[in-house]
């Protein structure tokens, strides 16, 4: 039996696996990466939204572009990537068996990194196997990789970041999201993600779950019901929706089967059933490492950093770099990772009700319970100010790791500071020039430009817009409030785009002055 040998074998060509292989290749290793898919990049190529974080985390860059950057970097350093290759065996001796087409090949690595990612969870309800019930990841694959519309009328189950992001992408692809439901009593993902969905008119049904889907051969409707403290359906709370698709975003589970096969010691954590790893990503089996979602569910940004850390650790383990160089690199990367793990959504806060921001401001309960900040709540946040002339209004109300707006404003109007989870504030001493870079750069689409008295009794609101067709100057429609309801008539006065905006259009609408702090979305007259 022929066995091919490599310095490093990587299982999974997603953000963690590719990042690890690149890091190792930079240090002189010759890694090989196996992936069962036809394309490398994992989940990144499904991500069309802009990432959070700072420059070092690829903030304000769309996920698929980050994927392209990783692939180019892998090619530059000679990383060998084998696709359509399913790893069917991993053994403690660091031997790997791989099925490529109809042939099973054997490989031996001096070190092996498992970066297999995670799989979507499903929930059982009456009719859950009917055509038309799909996972959120499948919906993203259909939309963003194959350009197929998943359905026309869709109900989303799940209010974590995946459910929120995919709901928005469904609307961008031309689907109608009739409602977003979640058995949990509070929105689980970033408030800025929820807010941009709510202002499009999508209702949130929290403390609700699916009772059944209807239809003989495919989904034609869905019934949800409210759940009580015992997680049981409360009789009489049933609600029916005519839909052709039900999309499930109910969590992810690490794909750790290969690690178990290799006799790696496992443990149960909030991030799932994962391998026990030290700070270098090393498992209990010498030479076998883990990184990314397989070692605990987090964002793709975290997975890439973890991958780099594993690549540096393996480089040291195999003698390509010194312990001193390894420790220096790990310290640098750990700092980047720690930055992402701060704020309200830090791992230690998972599942907890955080009632105050780090600044001591009361969190919007309306946001947590309905998906949007109420008009009488918004004024207490430091990014929401009233000034003469054009100025930014930043409706970022949670401590999330993100600061592109600060870097985008060349006039210094926006202050966040060194801690990227701090709420953005406005420096009233600085003069906004209305360039719109902050609006376009905001990964959460939570920044607006407001100017009073552009003409007598009327002002203008500039907002991010990422839906087709793009409105034209002179179009008449309605301004929608944070809750997605019409607040007044609106006229489109400007439409701007630029390469630096990266496909985010800046839409300016004219509304009465008393509506400037309420108008947050534009709907064309049908």
Q: How far is CA 518 from CA 379, 448, 478, in A?
A: 11, 11, 12
State how far the Cα of 131 lies from the Cα of 219, in Å rounded to an integer: 6
Extract the tokens encoding 517.
């702090």
Contacts of 34 (CB under 8 A, 6+ apart): 9, 10, 11, 12, 13, 82, 85, 87, 96, 98
Asked, as a colleague might, if the bond just before 188 is cis with ω within 30 of 0, I would say no
Extract the tokens encoding 171.
């609307």
pTM of the model: 0.95
- Nearest C-alpha neighbor of 162 from the set 120, 103, 115: 120
Q: Where are the domains of the chain?
A: 3-119+252-340, 122-248, 378-524
Contacts of 172 (CB under 8 A, 6+ apart): 48, 466, 467, 468
- Domain 122-248, CATH number (from 3.30.565.10, 3.20.20.10, 3.40.50.300, 3.50.50.60): 3.50.50.60
The CATH class of the 3-119+252-340 domain is alpha beta
Name the H helices within 224-374.
257-261, 300-317, 323-340, 365-370
Could you tell me if 8 and 285 are in contact, meaning their C-beta atoms sit under 8 angstroms apart?
Answer: no
Q: How far is CA 196 from CA 80, 168, 401, 465, 481, in A?
A: 41, 8, 18, 10, 11
- Nearest C-alpha neighbor of 524 from the set 481, 484, 487, 491: 491
pLDDT in tens, the chain (526 residues): 789 999 999 999 999 999 999 999 999 999 999 999 888 888 899 999 999 999 889 999 999 999 999 999 999 999 999 999 999 999 999 999 999 988 999 999 999 999 999 999 999 999 999 999 999 999 999 999 999 999 999 999 999 999 999 999 999 999 999 999 999 999 999 999 999 999 999 999 999 999 999 999 999 999 999 999 999 999 999 999 999 999 999 999 999 999 999 999 999 887 788 999 999 999 999 999 999 999 999 999 999 999 999 999 999 999 999 999 999 999 999 999 999 999 999 988 988 999 999 999 999 999 999 999 999 999 999 999 999 999 999 999 999 999 999 999 999 999 999 999 999 999 999 999 999 999 999 999 999 999 999 999 999 999 999 999 999 999 999 999 999 999 999 999 999 999 999 999 999 999 999 999 999 999 999 7
- Say if 3-119+252-340 and 122-248 have the same CATH topology: yes
State how far the Cα of 490 lies from the Cα of 472, in Å rounded to an integer: 13
State how far the Cα of 441 lies from the Cα of 501, in Å rounded to an integer: 7
State how far the Cα of 338 lies from the Cα of 347, in Å rounded to an integer: 10
């Amino acid at each position: 039996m022929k066995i091919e040998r490599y310095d490093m074998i990587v299982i999974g060509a997603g953000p963690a696996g590719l990042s690890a292989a690149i890091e190792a290749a930079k240090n002189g290793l010759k890694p090989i990466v196996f992936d069962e898919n036809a394309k490398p990049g994992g989940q990144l190529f499904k991500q069309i939204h802009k990432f959070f974080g700072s420059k070092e985390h690829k903030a304000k860059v769309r996920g698929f572009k980050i994927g392209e950057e990783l692939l180019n970097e892998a090619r530059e350093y000679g990383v060998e990537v084998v696709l359509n290759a399913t790893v069917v065996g991993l053994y403690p001796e660091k031997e790997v068996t791989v099925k490529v087409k109809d042939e099973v090949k054997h490989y031996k690595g001096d070190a092996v990194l498992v970066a297999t990612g995670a799989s979507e969870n499903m929930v059982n309800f009456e009719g859950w196997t009917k055509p038309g019930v799909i996972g959120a990841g499948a919906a993203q694959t259909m939309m963003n990789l194959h350009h197929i519309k998943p359905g026309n009328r869709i109900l989303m189950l799940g209010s974590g970041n995946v459910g929120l992001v995919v709901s928005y992408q469904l609307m961008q692809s031309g689907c109608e999201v009739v409602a977003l439901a979640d058995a949990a009593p509070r929105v689980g993902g970033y408030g800025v993600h929820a807010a941009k969905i709510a202002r499009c008119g999508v209702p949130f049904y929290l403390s609700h779950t699916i009772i059944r889907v209807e239809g003989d051969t495919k989904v034609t409707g869905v019934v949800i019901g409210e759940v009580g403290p015992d997680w049981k359906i409360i009789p009489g709370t049933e609600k029916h929706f005519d839909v052709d698709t039900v999309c499930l975003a109910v969590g992810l589970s690490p794909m750790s089967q290969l690690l178990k096969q290799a006799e790696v010691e496992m443990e149960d954590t909030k991030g799932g059933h994962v391998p026990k790893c030290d700070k270098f990503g090393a498992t209990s089996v010498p030479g076998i490492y883990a990184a990314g979602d397989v070692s605990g569910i987090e964002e793709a940004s975290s997975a890439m950093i973890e991958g780099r850390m594993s690549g540096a650790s393996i480089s040291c383990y195999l003698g390509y770099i010194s312990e001193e160089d390894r420790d220096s690199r790990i310290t640098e990367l750990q700092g980047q990772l720690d930055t992402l793990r701060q704020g309200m959504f830090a791992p230690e806060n998972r599942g907890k009700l955080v009632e105050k921001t780090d600044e001591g401001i009361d969190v919007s309960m309306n946001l947590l319970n309905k998906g949007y900040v109420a008009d009488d709540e918004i004024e207490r946040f430091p990014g929401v100010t009233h000034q003469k002339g054009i100025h930014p209004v930043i409706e970022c109300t949670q401590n999330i790791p993100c600061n592109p707006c600060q870097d985008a404003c060349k006039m210094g109007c926006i202050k966040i500071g060194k801690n990227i989870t701090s709420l953005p504030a406005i420096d009233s001493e600085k003069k906004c020039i209305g360039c719109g870079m902050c609006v376009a750069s905001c990964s959460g689409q939570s920044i607006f430009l407001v100017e009073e008295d552009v003409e007598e009794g009327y002002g203008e609101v500039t907002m991010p817009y990422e839906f087709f067709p793009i409105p034209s100057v002179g179009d008449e429609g309605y301004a929608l409030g944070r809750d997605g309801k019409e607040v007044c008539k609106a006229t489109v006065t400007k439409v701007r785009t630029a390469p630096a905006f990266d496909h985010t259009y800046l839409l300016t609408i004219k509304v009465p002055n008393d509506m400037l702090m309420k108008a947050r979305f534009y709907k064309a007259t049908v």
